[in-house]
Amino acid sequence: MRTSRLEAFSDGVFAIAATLLVLELRVPADEPDLTHALLQLWPAYAAYLVSFLTIGIIWVNHHTLLEHCRRVDRRFLYLNLLLLVAVGIVPFPTSLVDRYIVSESGATAALVVYGLGGLLIAIGFAAVFFYATHDGRLVGDRVSARQIRADGMLFPIGLAAYSVGIALAFVAPLASLAVYGLTALFYALPLLPIADRR
């Protein structure tokens, strides 16, 4: 089974989920002081940025994984579908963070849901990753066993990071959001050298 159409469908979901995030950026119509309303919207800008980067960086990793796959099978398509279910849901926790991060009562719940969404993506990506790389099932010989082991170690770290973010949601909402942003960047940074090795 070719990987090209799997990529087209996945890219569509990634791109749409990222671009739908902008629909959460809105001020009420006929706001008397627009400048003030725009400045008040900073949690929405932060959440847009964190969520867009999270989706974009997962996409880069998905792209890299599929480049190493010689083929995919139907079971891989279904695991990938579960990952896409998780990616497609991102605009929902993002909209919660937008609107509740500055509220007394709702910030914790919003950030817990955001962290659960992140955990879902991390678990979905881990499922796709380990299915594809286990015993070199779908991945060709080009990728060394050593690199796969190194990449595989990122998943427990990601799960731990989202868990820390969820715990922080109960005591320090803004710190929780910062942890989610750093987790996205963490998935981007350590993989940079891979580009050079190839």
Helix (H/G/I), strand (E/B), else coil: 139: strand
Shortest Cβ 87–a copy of itself spacing (Å): 9
Nearer to a copy of itself, 5 or 160 (CB): 5
90 C-beta neighbours (distance < 10 Å), count: 25
Do the beta carbons of residue 7 and residue 18 sit within 8 Å? no
Q: Can you tell me the distance from the alpha carbon of 69 to that of 16, in angstroms, rounded to the nearest whole number?
A: 24
Q: Between 61 and 163, name the residue whose CB sits nearer to a copy of itself.
A: 61
Q: Which two tokens stand for residue 191?
A: 């993989």
Residue placing its CB nearer to a copy of itself in the complex, 174 or 188 = 188
Whether the Cβ atoms of residue 62 and residue 126 lie closer than 8 Å to each other: no
- 3-class secondary-structure state, position 96: helix
> Smallest distance, Å, CB 14 to a copy of itself?
6
For residue 152, the minimal CB distance to a copy of itself (Å) is 18
Q: How far is the CB of 77 from a copy of itself (least distance, A)?
A: 5
Smallest Cα–Cα separation from 176: which of 189, 166, 186?
166
Q: Which is nearer to a copy of itself, 42 or 160 (CB)?
A: 42
